[in-house]
Amino acid sequence: MSYKLYNRVGSGGFAVEAALALAGESCELVLIDSEPGTPLPASFKEINPWGQVPVLELSDGTLLTETAAILIYLSVVHPGAVGPPPGSRDHARLLRWLVFLSANIYEGILRLDYPDRFTTDQSREAARAIRQAAASRISEAFSILEEECRGTSYLLGDTLTAADLFLAMLFAWHHNHQQHPRIRALTHRVAGHNLIAPIWRRNFDHRLQIKWGRDES
C-alpha cells in the first residue's frame, strides 16, 4: 500500500510516520514549509479545510486527518505491527487510550499554546485562566496514564504500540516531565527505538531541550 503524509517538521505527523515505520511501510513525505506554532499556508486548506497537519493520503486518494484517527486506521490495516489485532481486548484498550490522549492531553496542550482560540475574551486574565485550567487537566490526565504504566514498559504492556508513539510525542511537548517518571522512561524508550530514533531526531532534536532516547538525566 502506498501512502503520502503531509506534515511539518516537529508536528503531530511524527506519530504517523513512526507508526508506518513500525509497520514496514514507506511513505512519500510532503513537508509543509511552516514552523510549529505558526499558521499553515492558506493553500493547505485545499487538502484539509481545518488547516492542520498531519494528513495521510491513501493509495486511492482518500484523505485522513486527526492523528488519533490515522493511528486507529493503521492499527486496523496493519494488525500486530502498530497495535493488537482488531476485536481483541487489547485493541479495545488501544482505542480507549488513543482517544483519551487526543481529547484530553492534545486538546489541553492546544489550550496552553493557543488560549485565544477557546474564548471570545482576549484579555490576559482570560488567557491566564485558560492556561491554568489546561495545565491542571493535563497533569490529571498524565497521572492516570502514569498509573496505567505501572509494572509495564509501555501503555498496553511490554509491546510498543501506536498509543505509545502518541503518548511519547505529547509528553515530550509537555513542560513538566518530573512528576511522571514512568511516562518519562516510556518516552525515552520510544525515542531510542531503532526504527523510530531517526524520525524522532529529525522532528524534535532541534526544538526540544531534552535529547530523548539519549539524555536520561
Domains of the chain by residue range? 89-193
Averaged pLDDT in 10-residue chunks for the chain of 217 residues: 93 97 96 84 94 96 98 96 96 98 95 91 93 95 97 96 98 88 97 97 93 80
Give the CA distances from residue 182 to residues 32, 76, 92, 97, 165, in Å, rounded to whole numbers and listed in that order.
34, 28, 22, 16, 15
pLDDT at residue 217 in the model: 53
Cα atoms found within 13 Å of the Cα of residue 57, Cβ hemisphere only: 13
Pick the CATH number of 89-193 from 1.20.1050.10, 3.40.50.300, 3.40.1410.10, 3.40.50.720: 1.20.1050.10
Considering the entire predicted model, what is its pTM?
0.95
